[in-house]
Amino acid sequence: MIRWLLPNRRAVTFLATSNLLETHADSSYLGGLSQANIQMFFVTVAYKLNKVGDGSEMSSVSFKAQDKGSEQNAIGFTMNKVAGKVSGEIRKAAAAQ
């Protein structure tokens, strides 16, 4: 839950939910002398932002990311994208009030 104080001093509460839709890993070998096996992690995260007072949906988007390090890093990248989008949508709603 996110409480936001609008310029008219009225507080609005938003609910942001996220779901991990998909995660998988693919392996590939790099050529050359080292013959290294590189594992790539892929994730898809969806989120929805609702205004609590009237239940209206403000936005709903899914983000994809990939990472060579770990599945957790890829999830972290998508959650950073979600946080940026949610913040932008709330600011846009506040400016429209």
Q: Which of 61, 49, 62 is nearest to 22 (CA)?
A: 62
Residue 93: predicted pLDDT: 80
Residue 26: predicted pLDDT: 92
Structural domain boundaries, residue 66: 2-96
Instruction: Indicate the number of domains in the chain.
Output: 1
CA distances from 91 to 4, 85, 94 (A): 9, 10, 5
Residue 13: predicted pLDDT: 82
51-97 pLDDT tens trace: 888 888 989 999 999 999 899 999 999 999 999 999 898 888 877 76
Using DSSP's 3-state secondary structure scheme, residue 55 falls into coil
Looking at every residue in the chain, the average pLDDT score rounds to: 84
Alpha-carbon gap, residue 76 to 92, rounded angstroms: 24
